[in-house]
Amino acid sequence: MAFELRKYLSEEKGFNLILRTMAASSSFSELPLVAVCQVTSTPDKEQNFKTCAELIREAARLGACLAFLPEAFDFIARDPEETRRLSEPLSGNLLEEYTQLARECGLWLSLGGFHERGQDWEQTQKIYNCHVILNNMGSVVATYRKTHLCDVEIPGQGPMRESNSTIPGPSLESPISTPAGKIGLAICYDMRFPELSLALVQAGAEILTYPSAFGSVTGPAHWEVLLRARAIETQCYVVAAAQCGRHHEKRASYGHSMVVDPWGTVVARCSEGPGLCLARIDLNYLQQLRKQLPVFQHRRPDLYGNLGHPLS
């Protein structure tokens, strides 16, 4: 195995101690185990798949029931034209390879951001940033198309114009039941919009997913803060698989994939470079926390109104 796992496994042992203290009623070894994969995608789709497949097989060997891949696990292109050229429909060859891999490993997969040619490809020549969930039989059980596109200019990080090649998704996806819990789907920039996470938890989510490719400037400033905030305010587990390192001469990503528990504690974290981290999901602890701190019973929607309008 080319990836260093000792650090990640030691962090899982630390998580073991946290869970035994905060949810002693649960048997640690019986809790669902999830794997969060960190990669450095390039424009080379074949090599990207080999890297992801190696991590997924390792996750299965370690006993995970579900493995999470980051946004753009399929590729990160140099420009919008290359993005369009490398994109595929969900019925294409690449997703079929992941379907076979899920069956081979008996593992659920969160494919965090697939460059999808949708049904309107011929008319628009633009793609969707699509989060795909495969079950352990390789069937597509959920798809979410990123609703908030990252069109920003950050000094020191370079401009990002996701809308040059991508169409925003039309709707949210209802949380999907998995062996780890009910998962609410989001992608990267979506984490800056708490309305989305609140909508997902009100629809039943127990785990929020933010597969990402955060930049080198916004990453150190905002990445962990936002993930912990989303976990605390929703009282959900948050799973964030991330791109890391330099993808090509035009782009690099921050990394630091992590899992945050409903109390806001980072319970698993990847170090530098490609690899994976592991975490146990304790839904009894989640329910206990929601009873002890019943914030959703205290909300005042009569006062807040519609918070989604742009600033005037």
Neighbour tally for 279: CB within 10 Å: 28
Of the candidates 37, 52, 65, 188, the residue annotated as catalytic is 188
| DSSP state, residue 3 | S
Measure the CA–CA gap between 65 and 107, rounded to whole angstroms. 6
Measure the CA–CA gap between 166 and 124, rounded to whole angstroms. 10
Neighbour tally for 193: CB within 10 Å: 16
- Partners of 207 in the beta sheet? 183, 237
Going by C-alpha positions, the residue among 305, 307, 231 that lies closest to residue 267 is: 231
CB 19 within 8 A of CB 238: no
CB 157 within 8 A of CB 146: no
188 is catalytic: yes
Measure the CA–CA gap between 47 and 308, rounded to whole angstroms. 40
7 is catalytic: no
The backbone region for 188, taken as left when phi is positive above 0, alpha when psi lies in -120 to 50, beta otherwise, is left
Of the candidates 12, 88, 146, 162, the residue annotated as catalytic is 146
Measure the CA–CA gap between 132 and 68, rounded to whole angstroms. 10
CB 129 within 8 A of CB 146: yes
182 is catalytic: no
Burial state string for 175-188 with b = 16 or more CB within 10 A and e = fewer than 16:
bbebebbbbbbbbb
Of the candidates 71, 162, 173, 206, the residue annotated as catalytic is 71
Active site residues: 71, 146, 188
